[in-house]
């Protein structure tokens, strides 16, 4: 944090300091003088970036933040303060799904067609992606290929901007590391569920693997992409078995029957039968879509934002994910899916505000011969509280 920031920063009524792009860039990246920074956004029609005409459309509130709170801030003093270069914004076509591969073609506000690989990935040291659909997986792969660092901030809204992006990620990293050390090399985790008159358990085997953390820091000058807001400890499961309820976007709830590490079948608990039937058809035609690819636990005390990107980082919540896992160190790459559009990474968040119909009496961890309850009814137990003290 710069001296100027320290002298002028105030704390709001919600306990978070006002958003500062200088603070965010400094803590996350530790940028060096001369680093070039670019901003990427997605639009249904990238041509709407011409003369920034998308700003006139209320549908693009996420992309508006990219201009008003990031690009304008860069040009109004942040670049000069941190001695950065660039500040350009480019738009690519929406992918239509979480973590699907990005197109190479993009557009600049002056109408110029560009190549993301040649004109962005190879030319900038820091790339900020503020988008509707998550681009963490593809940008992580491109960072390793081209050598840049970046941050993905999909789904940004006012709450995220004023809370989850206002923290000092050095503190977030320290807390995440405490929880990571407590969970690393666990044998398995079990989550109990109660929903629709059924009581089930999902067992996820981690086989003593090293736990990983999403902590928001990319300060080393090595290729890396942070997913912000950050703050979770996660595993790429080795196997999974049992059953768990899933709440679809339209409110339908199905029960997922899991064996051999993937969802084999979904059955209807409530809502629209056609939604579950469509899911089963997808599982049959492209079985990789049902693979359990992540187990994650939130580590931060944050307000509910209504967007999973922040809400899955809240302490007491947890999530499982299906599909693509290469950006997490897993083996599921897009080429393993039968259909290109199926190669998504889809988080399934369990939190009181998101899944009030689904009770989670306990989540347990088995490590070094002992089974420890880590969550009860979306609350941390004394074990976790002591770890984070």
Q: What whole-number distance in Å separates Cα of residue 237 and Cα of residue 240? A: 7
Closest to 28 in 3D by CA, of 149, 209, 188, 184 = 149
Domain match, 8 and 140 both: yes
Res 7: pLDDT: 31
Per-residue pLDDT at 163 exceeds 60: yes
Per-residue pLDDT at 39 exceeds 90: yes
Domain match, 210 and 344 both: yes
Taking residues 276-292, report their average pLDDT: 97
Per-residue pLDDT at 2 exceeds 80: no
Per-residue pLDDT at 13 exceeds 50: no
Res 78: pLDDT: 98
Burial profile 182-209: b = 16 or more Cβ within 10 angstroms, e = fewer: bbbebbbbbbbbebeeeebebbbbbeeb
pLDDT band at 233 (very low <50, low <70, confident <90, very high): very high
Domain match, 128 and 96 both: yes
Domain match, 232 and 287 both: yes
Which of 156, 187, 221 is a domain's end point?
156
Which of 129, 156, 183 is a domain's end point?
156
Per-residue pLDDT at 75 exceeds 50: yes
Taking residues 24-45, report their average pLDDT: 98
Task: Give the 3-state secondary structure of residue 264.
Answer: strand
Domain match, 204 and 144 both: no
On whether residue 52 sits in a domain, the answer given is yes
Q: What is the pLDDT of residues 299-352, one digit of tens each?
A: 999 999 999 999 999 999 999 999 999 999 999 999 999 999 999 999 999 999
Q: What is the pLDDT of residues 187-204, one digit of tens each?
A: 999 999 999 999 999 999
Domain match, 270 and 384 both: yes
On whether residue 162 sits in a domain, the answer given is no
Spatial contact of 149 and 218, defined as CB atoms under 8 Å apart: yes
Radius of gyration over alpha carbons of the chain, in Å? 21
On whether residue 90 sits in a domain, the answer given is yes
pLDDT band at 217 (very low <50, low <70, confident <90, very high): very high
On whether residue 341 sits in a domain, the answer given is yes
Domain match, 233 and 286 both: yes
Per-residue pLDDT at 11 exceeds 90: no
Closest to 101 in 3D by CA, of 153, 59, 148, 42 = 42
On whether residue 127 sits in a domain, the answer given is yes
Domain match, 98 and 191 both: no
Domain match, 130 and 173 both: no
Domain match, 232 and 308 both: yes
pTM recorded for the entire structure: 0.92
Spatial contact of 146 and 117, defined as CB atoms under 8 Å apart: yes
Res 160: pLDDT: 98
Taking residues 226-238, report their average pLDDT: 97
Q: Which residue has the tokens 């990107």?
A: 309
Per-residue pLDDT at 55 exceeds 70: yes
Domain match, 92 and 183 both: no
On whether residue 163 sits in a domain, the answer given is no
Query: Structural domain of residue 270, as residue ranges?
Result: 169-388
Taking residues 161-173, report their average pLDDT: 96
Percentage of the chain modeled with pLDDT above 90: 96
Q: What is the pLDDT of residues 97-118, one digit of tens each?
A: 999 999 999 999 999 999 999 9
For residue 126, give the CATH number of its domain.
3.40.50
On whether residue 8 sits in a domain, the answer given is yes
Res 202: pLDDT: 98
Which of 96, 125, 156 is a domain's end point?
156
Per-residue pLDDT at 8 exceeds 70: no
Q: What is the mean pLDDT of the chain?
A: 95
Res 6: pLDDT: 33
How many residues are listed for the chain in this entry? 389
Domain match, 203 and 92 both: no
Taking residues 19-46, report their average pLDDT: 98
Q: How many domains, the chain?
A: 2
On whether residue 129 sits in a domain, the answer given is yes
Taking residues 81-94, report their average pLDDT: 98
pLDDT band at 15 (very low <50, low <70, confident <90, very high): confident
Q: What is the DSSP string of 73-99?
A: HIIIIIHHHHT-EEEEEEEEE--SSTT
Res 165: pLDDT: 98
């Amino acid at each position: 944090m710069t001296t100027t920031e320290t002298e002028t920063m105030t704390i709001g009524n919600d306990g978070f300091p006002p958003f500062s792009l200088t603070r965010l860039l400094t803590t996350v990246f530790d940028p060096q003088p001369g680093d070039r920074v670019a901003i990427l956004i997605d639009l249904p029609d990238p041509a709407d970036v011409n003369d920034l005409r998308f700003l006139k459309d209320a549908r693009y509130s996420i992309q508006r933040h990219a201009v008003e709170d990031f690009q304008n801030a860069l040009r109004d003093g942040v670049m000069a303060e941190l001695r950065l270069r660039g500040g350009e914004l480019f738009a690519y076509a929406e992918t239509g799904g979480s973590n699907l591969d990005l197109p190479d073609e993009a557009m600049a506000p002056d109408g110029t067609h560009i190549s993301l690989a040649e004109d962005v990935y190879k030319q900038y040291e820091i790339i900020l992606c503020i988008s509707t659909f998550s681009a963490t997986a593809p940008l992580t792969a491109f960072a390793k290929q081209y050598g840049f660092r970046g941050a993905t901030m999909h789904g940004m809204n006012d709450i995220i901007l004023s809370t989850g992006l206002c923290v000092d990620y050095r503190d977030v990293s320290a807390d995440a590391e405490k929880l990571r050390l407590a969970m690393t090399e666990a044998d398995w985790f079990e989550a109990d569920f109660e929903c629709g008159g059924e009581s089930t358990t999902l067992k996820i085997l981690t086989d003593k693997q090293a736990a990983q953390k999403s902590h928001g820091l990319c300060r080393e000058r090595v290729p890396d992409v942070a997913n912000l807001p950050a703050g979770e400890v996660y595993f790429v499961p080795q196997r999974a078995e049992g059953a768990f309820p899933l709440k679809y976007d339209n409110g339908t709830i199905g029960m997922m029957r899991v064996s051999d590490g993937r969802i084999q079948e979904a059955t209807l608990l409530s809502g629209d039968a056609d939604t579950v039937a469509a899911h089963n058809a997808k599982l049959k035609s492209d079985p990789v879509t049902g693979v359990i690819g992540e187990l994650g636990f939130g580590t931060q005390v944050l307000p509910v934002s209504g967007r999973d990107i922040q809400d899955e980082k809240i302490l007491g919540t947890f999530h499982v994910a299906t599909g693509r896992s290469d950006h997490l160190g897993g083996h599921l790459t897009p080429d393993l899916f039968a259909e290109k559009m199926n190669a998504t990474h889809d988080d399934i968040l369990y939190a009181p505000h998101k899944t009030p119909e689904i009770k989670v009496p306990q989540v347990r961890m088995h490590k070094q011969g002992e089974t420890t309850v880590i969550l009860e009814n979306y609350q941390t137990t004394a074990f976790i509280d002591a770890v984070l003290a």
